[in-house]
Amino acid sequence: MDRCNATELLRLKNVKVTRSRIAILDEIIASDNPVNAIDLHNGLSGQLTVNLATVYRMLKLFVDVGILREAFADNGTQYFEMACVHNPAHAHFQCSKCKRIICLSPLTFEDTILFSEASKIGEINEINIKLKGICQKCRSTA
């Protein structure tokens, strides 16, 4: 699975390349699941520390310049993921029991039939699909 390079990506998007931004963006790039601000803040490895307020500022900035997309919200917490070529838009499944999130396969052309009505209403530039239910593991452990 190919991934972006944090420094290159920041430069490409014309935002200043700082130690803190690289550290946070590295975490996001490395994660296979959507992430939230607090996890990113706690997840910093080693000596470097980044203030939580700064993490929030980064997340907003990264969404603004198109590095990230907001994947979904869970109980008032926002989760983000890479919006790069390596991570095409897709739906998310959340188990209501164990709360685990699973990223589904990228949306196909057929899926977009679903959005034909919406495209009459306006120009779509963000798609957000969240499915909730009980995962296999939780069902078998019932």
Partner DNA sequence: ATATAATTGCGAATAGTTTGCAAGTAATTC
Partner DNA sequence: GAATTACTTGCAAACTATTCGCAATTATAT
Q: Which residues bind DNA (CB under 7 A)?
A: 11, 15-21, 36-38, 49-54, 56-61, 75-78
Name which of residues 89 to 128 contact a copy of itself (CB under 8 A). Answer: 91, 93, 95-96, 102, 104-105, 107, 110-111, 113-115, 117-118, 121-128
| SS3 state at 15 | coil
Mention every residue, 6+ apart, whose C-beta is less than 8 A from residue 141: none
Question: Tokens 């699941």 identify what position?
Answer: 33
Does residue 38 touch a copy of itself according to CB under 8 A? Answer: no
Does residue 74 touch Zn ion according to CB under 5 A? Answer: no
Distance CA 140, CA 24 (A): 37
Count interface residues toward a copy of itself (CB under 8 A). 37
Report CA-CA distances (Å) from 4 to 18, 25, 30, 78, 87: 17, 10, 9, 22, 10
Minimum CB–partner distance for residue 46 and Mn ion (Å): 27
Name which of residues 21 to 40 contact Zn ion (CB under 5 A). Answer: none
Does residue 107 touch Mn ion according to CB under 5 A? Answer: no
What does the binding site for a copy of itself look like in residue numbers (CB under 8 A)?
A: 72-73, 76, 78, 91, 93, 95-96, 102, 104-105, 107, 110-111, 113-115, 117-118, 121-136, 138-139
What does the binding site for Zn ion look like in residue numbers (CB under 5 A)?
A: 95, 97-98, 135, 138
